[in-house]
Amino acid sequence: MSALSFSRSKLVAVERISENILKAHGVLDDYIYGMEIDVEVNLSDFKIVAIGGKMNRVTTSECHRALTVLPNAIGMDITERDFPRTINRIIGRAGCLHLGNLLVECCDSILQAAIFSDLEKSGFKYMELNASQYAIARVATIPGLKNSCLAYSTDQ
Amino acid sequence: MLVYTRNKLTTIEDLKDGSLLVKVISNDTWFSLSLEMTIKVPDMEITDIKGEFNRSFYETCVETLPVLQEAVGIRIGPGLIKNINAFIGNRAGCRRMADMILDGCDQVINRFTFSIIRQMKPIKDEERPAAQREFLKMNPQLIGSCIAYAKDSPLVKVEE
């Protein structure tokens, strides 16, 4: 029998706060750290329009200062291929790696919510759909999706 | 009203032979994935990996599972992100699985950091600067890794 030597959970909830704005609330809790992020993305251009955070459990007296770099993410396009790497640099290394990690999780969740927003709007009537056709339609409308994985590959 | 939720849990177990068992579960509105990998210590090498789609909007996703074997032999260290994204998170693979591998590897590092932090917890306030010095000596890779360990941070200046 073995016990856990480390555990991290991340929970992200996305809501539509206006016709074009999706807001994600993300919570990260692990054996060391606890933090939260609220981020809003405008679906017309996929850019971050608002962001805030909270450090609930950290390891040093300096960690809270990481929240001051969060506004640097405003204006960033979450569909850019290098988005996670850029966030790791401007929020992670310049602030807190774990906060950067949570922000990437929140923005990826917003992107997933955007990809499936038509289904959500129609009351989750997904069983009647041809998934392959849906994927082709998404590739045409969501930037950065094309060839990002097998489901969105043009080889399909 | 919520339009999407994601719940991701990563756990690390220490095995009898000294290796680590990493389990990552991601459950969201449209997909449910799980991943297990074994990390050999101290090599920090991925020696075994398996994944599963428990629920997927796209039937084709399950076809990406064999690609996961490309991760075997990759070490947690420089080049990890580039390699995992190149071999797993590509047009023939699954970006979500690639992210889960990277998340799992991150928590392996945090598992070792946690051991050190736990050892430092009982240290008294007046002894903390010296302990901090020792901590940074043991973990020089932390310097410049975040705002707390930036070169102009009071925590790092203790070191100088």
> Does residue A3 sit at the B interface (CB-CB below 8 Å)?
yes
Residue-wise pLDDT tens digits, B106-123: 999 999 989 888 888 788
> Does residue A90 sit at the B interface (CB-CB below 8 Å)?
no
- CB contact under 8 Å between B148 and A60, yes or no, is yes
Q: What mean pLDDT is reported for chain B?
A: 92
Q: Can you name the residues that pair with A4 across neighbouring β-strands?
A: B13
Asked if A37 and A105 sit in the same domain, the reply is yes
Q: Is the ipTM of this complex over 0.95?
A: no
Q: Can you name the residues that pair with B28 across neighbouring β-strands?
A: B6
> Binning pLDDT at 50, 70 and 90, where does residue B159 land?
very low
Asked if A148 and A103 sit in the same domain, the reply is no
> Does residue B29 sit at the A interface (CB-CB below 8 Å)?
yes
Residue-wise pLDDT tens digits, B5-22: 999 999 999 999 999 999
Cα distance between residue B90 and residue B111, in whole Å: 28
In a domain, A65, yes or no: yes
Q: Where are the domains of chain B?
A: 6-114, 123-157
In a domain, A1, yes or no: no
With a CB cutoff of 8 Å and minimum separation 6, the contacts of B12 are A4, A5, A6, A7, B20, B21, B22, B107, B108, B111
Asked if A148 and A102 sit in the same domain, the reply is no
Locate the chain B residue with the closest alpha carbon to A97. Answer: B146
As a whole number of Å, the end-to-end CA separation of chain A is: 44
Asked if A97 and A140 sit in the same domain, the reply is no
Cα distance between residue B15 and residue B19, in whole Å: 5
In a domain, A3, yes or no: no
Residue-wise pLDDT tens digits, B133-146: 788 887 888 899 99
- The yes-or-no verdict on residue A76 having pLDDT over 80 is yes
Asked if A147 and A98 sit in the same domain, the reply is no
Asked if A52 and A91 sit in the same domain, the reply is yes
| Segments forming the whole domain that contains residue A124 | 118-152
Asked if A74 and A148 sit in the same domain, the reply is no
With a CB cutoff of 8 Å and minimum separation 6, the contacts of A82 are none
Domain count of the fold of chain A? 2
In a domain, A105, yes or no: yes
Enumerate the H helices of chain B as residue ranges.
80-87, 95-120, 128-138, 154-157
> Assign residue A32 a region: left if phi > 0, alpha if psi is -120 to 50, beta otherwise?
alpha
- The yes-or-no verdict on residue A81 having pLDDT over 70 is yes
Cα distance between residue B96 and residue B108, in whole Å: 19
In a domain, A57, yes or no: yes
In a domain, A2, yes or no: no
Residues of A in Cβ contact (< 8 Å) with B114: 5-6, 31-32
Asked if A27 and A100 sit in the same domain, the reply is yes
> Does residue B30 sit at the A interface (CB-CB below 8 Å)?
yes
Q: Can you name the residues that pair with B36 across neighbouring β-strands?
A: B23, B50
- CB contact under 8 Å between B154 and A62, yes or no, is yes
Compare CB distances from B12 to A6, A61, A109 and report the shortest one's residue: A6
Asked if A41 and A93 sit in the same domain, the reply is yes
Asked if A88 and A67 sit in the same domain, the reply is yes
Asked if A132 and A72 sit in the same domain, the reply is no
Question: In CATH, what class is B6-114?
Answer: alpha beta
Residue-wise pLDDT tens digits, A114-153: 999 888 777 777 777 788 888 888 888 888 899 999 999 9
Lowest mean pLDDT across A32-36, A115-119, B64-68? A115-119
